Amino acid sequence: MKKYILVVNGPNLNLLGRRQPEIYGKRTLDEINSRLVDIFSKQAELRFEQSNSECAIIDCLHRCGFDTECMGIVLNAGAYTHYSYAIADAIAAIPAPVVEVHISNIFARDEFRSRSVIAPVCAGSVSGFGEDSYRLAVEALILRHG
């Protein structure tokens, strides 16, 4: 069985392609996910979750974070990035590496967006490269896994 990477998207990312395309781009989440599969299908299985619920995101982290077949987790926590200590605690509790991802450069936006409470417990962060932020994060996990 091929090892997998879980890509988790948080609140409002189900609206990609319709929500503020000047910031988040014109592609839908399904289109971004399909592109990732096209790029990485030979190296790893990709699995995808999206939820607007903090609880569901934490459940995903718990479920996959202890799975020895999971190479790592790519997480775009959306607005939870800036205030969810519960998600930060879940990341800190699991052995699987988590890469924080943002489509926009969170440091060049509203002041409240320039602080990530999850960054200190993530293996790394990628932001500001549009949908390529996901590609870079997946690539980093594959390289890290060796």
Which residues carry out catalysis?
Answer: 24, 102
Nearest CA to 9 among 42, 121, 17, 110?
A: 17
Q: How many CA atoms lie within 13 A of 81 on its CB side?
A: 31
CA 84 to CA 136: how far, in whole Å?
24
DSSP-H helix ranges across the chain? 21-24, 29-40, 54-65, 85-93, 132-145
**Sign of the CA dihedral with 20 first, then 21, 23, and 24 last:** positive
